[in-house]
Amino acid sequence: MKMIYNNFDPLTNVTTVTLADKYGTYTGTAKLHPDDINNSIAGFRIAEERARIKFYKARLKREKIRLQTLISFKKEYYQDFSLKEFNFLEIRINRSLRLIKDLNETISIHEDSLKEYFKARAKIVKKIKDKNK
């Protein structure tokens, strides 16, 4: 995965980040809070994290389809397999199950990280407001 586009529009205060891999592109956007107008770095961080979450969700969706395909193939043709082929298919199914579990955990971690970032940003903005009073 690599970043193919990033932009901060000072007129709208919207930051856009697009990530891509061989399967597609994933775009995240962030509109800065009015108190963050001079901090486009926050917008880039949020937009990139949102794009990354979309990437992981798309990868999870593809892996679930792959798993269902493997399971269907196993059910349909299990009687035609040698023991070695059957074991190989079982290994692939188990790897796919582990990858799905890992992707779910990764998505959860990134979503939680983004929530924590919002909380931390809110505290910073509040402190700045309190100092300026």
Render pLDDT for 24-75 as a digit per residue (tens, 0 to 9).
Answer: 999 999 998 776 766 788 899 999 999 999 999 999 999 999 999 999 999 8
Specify the CATH number of the domain 2-132.
3.30.160.240
Q: Which two tokens stand for residue 126?
A: 């509040």
pTM attached to this predicted model: 0.87
Q: Which two tokens stand for residue 58?
A: 């798309």
Q: How far apart are CA 95 and CA 132, in angstroms?
A: 55
Q: How many alpha carbons fall within 13 Å on the CB side of residue 71?
A: 10
Q: Residues for the chain: how many in total? A: 133
Least confident residue range of 5-19, 56-70, 94-108, 113-127: 113-127
Q: Residue 81 burial by CB count (10 A; 0-12/13-18/19+): exposed, middle or buried?
A: middle
pLDDT at 37: 64
Pairing outcome for strands 24-31 and 2-9 = unpaired
Mean pLDDT of the chain: 91
